[in-house]
Amino acid sequence: MLFNVLYFIYILLLLRLETQFYNQEQYRKIVTYRARKLVKRYNTKLYVYGKPQPGFLAANHTSYLDPIVVLALKAGGAVAKIEVKDYLLFGAIGEKIGTLWVKRENRKSRKGVIDLLNKWDAVNDPLWIFPEGTTSSFGKLDPFKMGVFKAAENTGHMIQPLVFCYDNPQVDWGSTGTEKDLFRSILDFYNNKVMTNAYCFWMEPMKVGHGEAQKKADELHRKMLIYIRRFERPRNG
């Protein structure tokens, strides 16, 4: 277990060093390459169905594994809570890939990110967004915030949804019923030593017409929940 944790820190240090030597496009590809290495080290196997199309990249959010999984699938920037910027080495890495930091309890900060999304070229600058705005419990899906749907409506860009489902409840950040930090979660996960399968479904791209943001958010939520209820369950359950 110690070797795996040291390997994780080694990858972070390497990515931090590499921020100085590559442009954003090159660096994003490196992050995807190293994320795929980490997925294997996490004893996680990805099953991927479908292919992504250009647009805002919207995924459900259950686990601390999610950012690694999505970046292993497709390079891009992300919207993330500003607290992540203070995690060991994550701030510089996030800045380099083009993360939009949001202070979720601050209305001005949320509005600033929404303003950026409303002008975002999601076709040429891929951006990952978790519409729930937080993590949901294993097998569940919290209501969606409207940011990405409004952005798709205002820019005319499609939303490319991804729903992924795990077969190991311990990937749930809150599985122990207590608040855990990132590294405690990683330690617990390694100690578990259970193979985790992640079933990743690229769904049909979604067009959001004028005045359709809420309707499309509800529609995507229903469709994602069908996948989650069917596929996100303990392997032996």
* Other beta carbons within 10 Å of 76: 21
Distance CA 74, CA 68 (A): 10
CATH of the domain at 121: 3.40.1130
Residue by residue, pLDDT tens for the chain (237 residues) are 667 677 888 888 999 999 999 999 999 999 999 999 888 877 889 999 999 999 999 999 988 788 889 999 998 999 888 888 877 778 899 999 998 898 878 888 888 888 888 888 999 999 999 999 888 888 999 999 999 999 999 999 999 999 999 998 888 765 454 455 555 666 665 566 668 899 999 999 999 999 999 999 999 999 999 999 999 988 775
- pLDDT for the residue 25: 93
Domain-embedded: residue 140: yes
Instruction: Please check whether residue 85 lies inside any domain of the structure.
Output: yes
Per-residue pLDDT of 129-150, as tens digits, reads 999 988 888 899 999 999 999 9
Please report whether residue 80 resides in a domain. yes
Query: What pLDDT is stored for residue 177 in this prediction?
Result: 45
Q: Could you tell me if residue 237 is inside a domain?
A: no
- By residue range, what is the domain housing residue 187? 2-231
**Domain membership flag for residue 137:** yes
pLDDT of residue 146: 92
Is there a domain that residue 148 lies in?
yes
Is 236 within a domain? Answer: no
Classify residue 220: in a domain, yes or no. Answer: yes
Length of the chain (residues): 237
pTM exceeds 0.85 for this model: yes
Number of domains in the chain: 1
Looking at residue 128, its pLDDT comes to 95
